[in-house]
Amino acid sequence: MAKAKRQMIEKMKLIDVVIELLDARAPMASRNPMIDEIVGNKPRVLILNKSDMADPEQTRAWQKALSGENQRVLAVNSQDGDGTSLIPKAVRELTEEKRQRAEAKGMNPRADRALILGIPNVGKSTLINRLANKRIAKIGDRPGITKQQQWIKVGKTMELLDTPGILWPKFEDETVGLKLAATGAIKDEIIDLTEVAGFIVRVLSERYPDLLMDRYKLEAPLDDDLWNLLEGIGRSRGMVRSGGHIDMDRTSEMIVREFRSLKIGHVTLETPE
């Protein structure tokens, strides 16, 4: 990741616009704080990817909160291509002034050069293949698929520089790590799924209680004790060991899996407020 960061800094002088992918379910948690240092004041297009999995009302709120003069925010589902056609247009808008200055000097117009970046497993490779209209980038549902930088042509107006997804070395806020683990940006092998499941259930009980009750056949009022709530979910799914104890490992794995597969519903883990 240190190598990837160094390579990006070296390439910035070639770049007109930065396309930064965020997970629509956790826009701030999925923003790498090192990116500001790398990108500086370059124009940006922020992509709220996987918007089909997020709460649409919260996605609209995030678009409003993150939009700015030198920054466009688009809600996209790279899996089916929804919203992807707006990306080259947004890049074109942000480079209009620079292009006019170049033309005034008699320089020939060229394609916009965009750096595309994002944390692991945010859907970057899927988006690139959708934009290029062919399979160029490797795709996987595990973080860390892209290993090196490569230039990719998108129509006649844009060239993309792909980069490996990079995470930052240390999470100052523990909840950031929990949100990234919930969305699959961190490998399951290195995290405590019970802790992640507990975080998901806490968010659901506070913001989406109806979804939680409908999915796991729970009754109102929901138990304030998180452990009791997890046990109740396990019991409702029959994950009971001999002696009447709930299998918390299986219960936690199920909750995380069902959150990621949209079986619980459209959920956003953080709000602009």
DSSP string for residues in 93-124: HHHHHHHHHHHHTTPPP--EEEEEE-STTSSH
Neighbours of 199 (CB within 10 A): 22
In the chain, ranges of CATH 3.40.50.300 domains = 2-162
Quick one: residue 251, left, alpha or beta (phi over 0 = left, psi -120 to 50 = alpha)?
A: alpha
CATH for 192-260, options being 3.30.70.520, 3.20.20.140, 1.10.1580.10, 2.40.50.140: 1.10.1580.10
For domain 2-162, give the fold.
Rossmann fold (3.40.50)
155: left (phi over 0), alpha (psi -120 to 50) or beta: left
Locate CATH 1.10.1580.10 in the chain. 192-260
Beta bridge partners of 151: 161
Q: Which residue has the tokens 């299986």?
A: 250
Measuring CA to CA, which residue among 200, 237, 241, 199 is closest to residue 218? 237
Residue 2 is predicted with a pLDDT of: 72
With b for 16 or more beta-carbon neighbours within 10 A and e for fewer, the 80-89 pattern comes to eeebbeebbe
What's the full length of the chain, in residues? 273
Cα atoms in the 13 Å half-sphere on the side-chain side of 88: 15
pTM of the complete model beyond 0.85: yes
pLDDT score recorded for residue 44: 95
Whether residue 209 is preceded by a cis peptide bond, meaning omega within 30 degrees of 0, is no
Q: What was the pLDDT predicted at 1?
A: 66
Q: Which of 26, 53, 95 is nearest to 262 (CA)?
A: 53
Identify the pLDDT of residue 144.
44
Q: Where are the beta strands (DSSP E) in the chain?
A: 17-23, 44-49, 71-75, 112-117, 150-154, 158-162
- Tens-digit pLDDT profile for the chain (273 aa)? 677 777 778 888 889 999 999 999 999 999 988 888 888 889 999 999 999 999 999 999 999 999 988 999 999 999 999 999 999 999 999 999 888 888 888 888 888 999 988 888 899 889 998 998 865 644 344 444 444 457 888 888 899 988 766 666 567 788 999 999 999 998 888 889 999 999 999 999 999 999 999 999 999 899 999 999 999 999 999 999 988 899 999 999 999 999 999 999 999 999 998
pLDDT in the model for residue 138: 45
